[in-house]
Structure 1
């Protein structure tokens, strides 16, 4: 099952986790990584399907990082 936006593109997500992840993790997640001033990290990017989303969430879990939020957004608004 592919998760597509109404425009036929993969769904984009914003994931927030506690702490600041090191920049090399951005490549592992295939997302843009931003350190937020409040001590959290925001990961933003398109996800091709639900399996890919669950894989990303599993990697976060395996790192022992606390997941704060997962929000689907319009793919046109990704950085």
Structure 2
């Protein structure tokens, strides 16, 4: 998804997890960008509303990932 195609009410969040996620798993989150670093994985995702944000956080929890940062861009 391109930034220009997002609904006007969307927010962009940067999510950083400690684990090094493979591309197949990161794709599930629908990221705009992904950075694999020595300190884990950072991806930027569009979020339409709080319910969608909670869904992402639940998925991170269910996958037993360690959330390092959640930043509203």
Classify the TM-score, shorter chain: 0.7 to 0.9
1:39 is displaced (CA, Å) by: 2.7
The residue number in structure 2 matching 1:26 is 26
| TM score, norm. by length of structure 2 | 0.80
| TM score, norm. by length of structure 1 | 0.75
Equivalences, count: 65
Unaligned runs of 5+ in 2: 1-7
Runs of 4+ deviating beyond 3 Å? none
Structure 2: distance between partners of 1:33 and 1:17: 11
The residue number in structure 2 matching 1:17 is 17
The residue number in structure 1 matching 2:50 is 50
Unaligned runs of 5+ in 1: 1-7, 74-79
